[in-house]
Amino acid sequence: MLNKLREKIITEAQVFGEIVKIDHFLNHQIDTQLLDEVGVDIAKEFPNATKILTIETSGIAFASSVARTLDYLPLVFAKKVESSITTGEYYLSKTYSFTKKREYSVRVDKRFISENDKVLIVDDFLANGEAASSLIDIVNQAGAEVVGIGIVVEKGFQKGRKVLEEKGHKVYSCSIIERVENGQVYMK
């Protein structure tokens, strides 16, 4: 748990229904001091990783901060693609965006994950676990090992953690939103 992040969400988040808007320090403008603290906080939970995997766009900065903390591990970011056509050069996995209400695919060049890799998946948000699940699928296709999933902000009232833990994976979140009620955010 990263207390500074927890406090920042409580005091600074704007709430619209179930939407918690923290784009002024997380996913449009980034507080780069917090970024480095997140990197250290996630890295300490997964010291055995050999590679960091994230998905474009807003996970990239946080994943790079985790990577540098773990003695400059290589960072791979999966790309979102509309089509599910694959050329044989890519690992491809279908996923669904609840925010955008549509299916899309993510892909990673086969050169960038090998069966010897111990992959730490990093993302900014965990909600239903769709994005993380598709990254796990890609790591599995490569015959590599998932050492865990590191998240900046978890929506604890959605099913993401349950989905990932049921697949047998360790999930660590720097902060967990327990519920949102009457425009107020309650943190774990």
Q: Are 1 and 153 in contact (CB under 8 A)?
A: no
Binding a copy of itself by CB under 8 A: which of 109, 166, 178, 181? 109
Query: Does residue number 65 form part of the binding site for a copy of itself (CB under 8 A)?
Result: yes
Query: Does residue number 57 form part of the binding site for a copy of itself (CB under 8 A)?
Result: yes
Calpha distance 146→142 (Å, rounded): 11
Pick between residue 33 and residue 86 the one whose CB is nearest to a copy of itself. Answer: 33
Q: How far is CA 82 from CA 31, 40, 105, 106, 140, in A?
A: 31, 34, 6, 9, 22
DSSP of 12-24: H-EEETTEEE-TT
Query: Does residue number 86 form part of the binding site for a copy of itself (CB under 8 A)?
Result: no
Query: Does residue number 33 form part of the binding site for a copy of itself (CB under 8 A)?
Result: yes
Segment lying near a copy of itself (by CB under 8 A), choices 62-70, 141-149, 154-162, 163-171: 62-70
Binding a copy of itself by CB under 8 A: which of 3, 12, 32, 184? 32
Pick between residue 62 and residue 154 the one whose CB is nearest to a copy of itself. Answer: 62
Residues 90/58/101/76 CA torsion (nearest 10 deg): 10
Pick between residue 97 and residue 158 the one whose CB is nearest to a copy of itself. Answer: 97
Instruction: Pull the structure tokens for residue 151.
Output: 């998240």
Q: Are 91 and 81 in contact (CB under 8 A)?
A: no
Draw the binding track, 110-139, toward a copy of itself (x: CB under 8 A; -: no contact).
Answer: -xx---------------------------
Q: Are 136 and 146 in contact (CB under 8 A)?
A: yes
Query: Does residue number 28 form part of the binding site for a copy of itself (CB under 8 A)?
Result: yes
Query: Does residue number 16 form part of the binding site for a copy of itself (CB under 8 A)?
Result: no
Instruction: Pull the structure tokens for residue 87.
Output: 């050329």
Calpha distance 142→93 (Å, rounded): 12
Longest C-alpha distance within the chain, in Å? 50
Query: Does residue number 48 form part of the binding site for a copy of itself (CB under 8 A)?
Result: no
Please report, as ranges, the residues that interact with a copy of itself according to CB under 8 A.
Answer: 23-24, 28-33, 35-36, 56-57, 60-61, 64-65, 67-68, 72-77, 79, 108-109, 111-112
